[in-house]
Amino acid sequence: MTSISRRAILKGSAAGVLAGLLPSISLAQDAAAKSMSIIAFPEPPTLFIGLDQNGSTQTVAGKIYESLLTWDFDFTPLPGLATAWEMSEDGLVYTFHLAQNAKWHDGTPFTADDVVFTCSDFLMEVHPRARAIFAHCDKIEAVDAHTVRFTLKQPFGPFLMGFEMSTAPMIPAHLYKGTDFRTNPNNNTPVGTGPFKLAEWARGQYIRLEKNPDYHGEGEPHLDELTFLILPDAGARAIALEQGDVQQGQFFDIELFDVGRLAELPHLELISKGYEYYAPVARIEFNTRVAPFDDKRFRQAVCYALDKQLFTDAIFFGMGEPATGPISKRTRFYDSNVTLYDQDTAKAEALLDEMGLAAGDDGVRTTVKFMRLPWGETWARFAEMVQQQLAVVGIRVEIEPSDPASWTQRYANWDFQMTSNYPYQFGDPALGVSRFFISSNIRQGVAYSNCTGYSNPEVDALFDAGAVAVRDEDRQAAYTKVQQILTEDVPMCWLVEVNFPTLLDRRYKDVVVSAIGVNETYRRAALAA
């Protein structure tokens, strides 16, 4: 009997999948020498970024919609729909000067009225993250057709960081003002100001964007067409990159065990930049309301029992580095002067002994439940590694499987003992970190809030101080103290600062140019000379 390798089967599977997709778009791509194919996984539920900030939505819709600013890798603000901006010395007034030649895809001019409508009305109703930012505003007003002034009630340090595409996408007032935002028919036919506009969406197959000939960036975009191929099968995605049928994969599109092999291919480049704004830290969250997690010593014992370097190498295949605390070193206000938890099983066992959790005849001190994150095989292996390493110090872990809906519901309703997570930090602790620790955000039924139940008045005050301080040195002082307290209290166990990989065909340049990477506009992306 002839043996057939797994790779041969995958190649056959990929070929079959791609054969069903590529003929319908190949003519357009052959005719457009300046085109690019990109993996889209999973398929975006919508392209209207105003209502849905799903990761796959951002990657596609980021080429259609824009905000006022974007961000360099070191979080220096760069022009978007705003060409210039100023902040008053007291940190209360921000003035933006808008591009004067920007138009919506239907030809209507983009003006200050669109900004006022977006930030005062639209986002305040439908976008929780943006609502928390623009709630700091006392007034949002159009000074003239191309100038907008925001006056804050009190200083809010990361205010500029809010003008990122997924946080504050500009919405056309002439199509949405006075309507039901959630049912507006334009939600199905996105109209933005970006360098590309929707040409065709074959559900379950591909999304094709075409060049916006009226784009406000002079001479941009450089590509004529972007095609996002929807490939549900992981093997098909890897083979498509390997064979050059697609030119880009990002985030966890490619199973991490395959990234290194693909990166060695001569036509592909591995890029880890472009995720600084997100900077996720893979972690274990403890429900501090329930025993034994209500005892700080138990949480510390778990942290000492786990080998962060092994998680980095074996689970994330080197795509990251060991974490030290709640703020990633890839974002703002990180400080390494914190309590560290290098693996030390003796310390873990001493803490468990101090608690009176003696080992039984079977070596088990206690049994806990771990609700597995349902986002692919990486997180299944993550849970198994936790189970194996905690068993060494006598903590038996029962892994609870879940699907996305049940995990989100149980997490939001505090129905867990421990679980894994890796939410985005959004470039600033006031935007992406504080929400998980401040007492005012203990909100049952709301996912990605303070679901651990951790409450510390000093931490609340420090997060408040960090948010309203105008000077970066004052903000750093507050966030340094926060990191020191949290790493002592460990309502979470921070394990790996994840570096998402982007695999890019070397024939393209200026693709990853900012801290939001593949979610950028691609106004500068081009074929290499």
Nearest-angstrom CA–CA distance, 445 and 236: 37
User: Per residue in 435-482, pLDDT tens?
Assistant: 999 999 999 998 889 999 999 999 999 999 999 998 999 999 999 999
Q: Residue 103: pLDDT above 90?
A: yes
3 pLDDT higher than 80: no
Average pLDDT, the chain: 92
Q: Is 133 helix (H, G, I), strand (E, B) or coil?
A: helix
Q: What is the pLDDT of residue 289?
A: 97
Measure the CA–CA gap between 511 and 500, rounded to whole angstroms: 15
Give the mean model confidence (pLDDT) for residues 243-262.
94
Say what the pLDDT of residue 28 is.
Answer: 40
Going from the C-alpha of 73 to that of each of 70, 85, 102, 515, the distances in angstroms are 10, 19, 25, 5
- Residue 9: pLDDT band by 50, 70, 90 thresholds? very low
**pLDDT attached to residue 52:** 87
Q: What fold does the segment set 281-498 form as a domain?
A: Dipeptide-binding Protein; domain 3 (3.10.105)
How confident is the model over 494-517, as a mean pLDDT? 97
User: What type of residue is 522?
Assistant: Y
* 3 state SS of 495: strand
d(CA 529, CA 368): 58
Backbone φ/ψ region at 500: left (φ over 0), alpha (ψ -120 to 50), beta? beta
Question: Tokens 């080197």 — which residue?
Answer: 318
Q: Which two tokens stand for residue 25?
A: 């778009």
Position 362 scores a pLDDT of 94
Judged against a pLDDT cut of 50, whether residue 7 lies above it is answered with: no
3-state secondary structure 270-310: EECCCCCCCCCEEEEEECCCCCCCCCHHHHHHHHHHCCHHH
The per-residue pLDDT for range 164-207, each reduced to its tens digit, is: 999 999 999 999 999 999 999 999 999 999 999 999 999 999 99
At 20, the pLDDT band (50, 70, 90 cuts) reads low
Q: What is the distance between the alpha carbons of residues 331 and 29, in angstroms, rounded to a whole number? A: 38
- Spelled out in words, what is the top-level CATH class assigned to the domain 69-176? alpha beta
Domain boundaries, the chain: 6-46+194-274+501-527, 69-176, 281-498
* pLDDT score at 322: 98
pTM of the model: 0.87
Please check the confidence at residue 100 and state whether its pLDDT lies above 60: yes
- CATH number for the domain running over 6-46+194-274+501-527: 3.40.190.10
Query: What pLDDT does 30 receive?
Result: 39
Which of these ranges, 13-27, 120-134, 407-421, has the smallest mean pLDDT? 13-27
Binning pLDDT at 50, 70 and 90, where does residue 13 land? very low
| Res 446: pLDDT | 84
In this predicted structure, what is the pLDDT of residue 22?
Answer: 52
